[in-house]
């Protein structure tokens, strides 16, 4: 039963991918006064799907090798290391995202409510060593 569900999901994903690629190709063809056959769109869809499969498998392998179950930006950067243009673009985007997060955190820190004061001094449960 799980296999049938997985196959159904894969087919739905491929159909959505075919639709999206077909729309993109049609839009480009209209802009450039060209034609694309359904066979071309089907072949391009299979190519893109295969690339997605390979990329996802590589990312999962990188995360697993690092002892993690979750893919993070380090895995993506490792995947992009041999494509200089993509690597540079991803690094710029990552730096911009980190800068935005730092600014947002700094703004939120200024507006944050002060922490509730406690009456106990020090940390922990035991007495401090003297």
Say yes or no: 62 and 82 in one domain. Answer: no
For 18-51, the pLDDT digits (tens) are 999 999 999 999 999 999 999 999 999 999 999 9
- pLDDT band for 118, please (50, 70, 90 cuts): very low
Say yes or no: 56 and 84 in one domain. Answer: no
Structural domain span for residue 54: 17-69
Say yes or no: 58 and 29 in one domain. Answer: yes
Instruction: State the Cα–Cα distance between residues 76 and 79, nearest whole angstrom.
Output: 5
Q: Is residue 120 part of a domain?
A: no
Q: Is residue 117 part of a domain?
A: no
Say yes or no: 63 and 76 in one domain. Answer: no
Instruction: State the Cα–Cα distance between residues 98 and 92, nearest whole angstrom.
Output: 10
The structural domain count of the chain equals 2
Say yes or no: 77 and 96 in one domain. Answer: yes
CB 66 within 8 A of CB 75: yes
For 73-109, the pLDDT digits (tens) are 999 999 999 999 999 999 999 999 999 999 999 888 8
Q: Is residue 11 part of a domain?
A: no
Say yes or no: 32 and 48 in one domain. Answer: yes
Instruction: State the Cα–Cα distance between residues 22 and 45, nearest whole angstrom.
Output: 8
Say yes or no: 31 and 63 in one domain. Answer: yes
Say yes or no: 55 and 25 in one domain. Answer: yes
């Amino acid at each position: 039963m799980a296999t049938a569900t997985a196959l159904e999901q894969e087919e739905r994903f491929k159909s959505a991918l075919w639709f999206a690629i077909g729309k993109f190709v049609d839009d480009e063809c209209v802009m450039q006064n060209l034609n694309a056959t359904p066979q071309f769109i089907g072949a391009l869809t299979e190519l893109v799907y295969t690339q997605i499969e390979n990329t996802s498998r590589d990312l999962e392998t990188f995360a697993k090798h690092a002892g993690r179950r979750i893919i993070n930006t380090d895995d993506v950067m490792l995947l992009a290391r041999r494509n200089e243009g993509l690597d540079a673009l991803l690094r710029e985007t990552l730096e911009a995202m980190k800068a935005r997060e730092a600014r947002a955190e700094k703004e939120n820190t200024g507006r944050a409510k002060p922490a509730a004061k406690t009456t106990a001094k020090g940390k922990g449960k035991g007495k401090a060593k003297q």
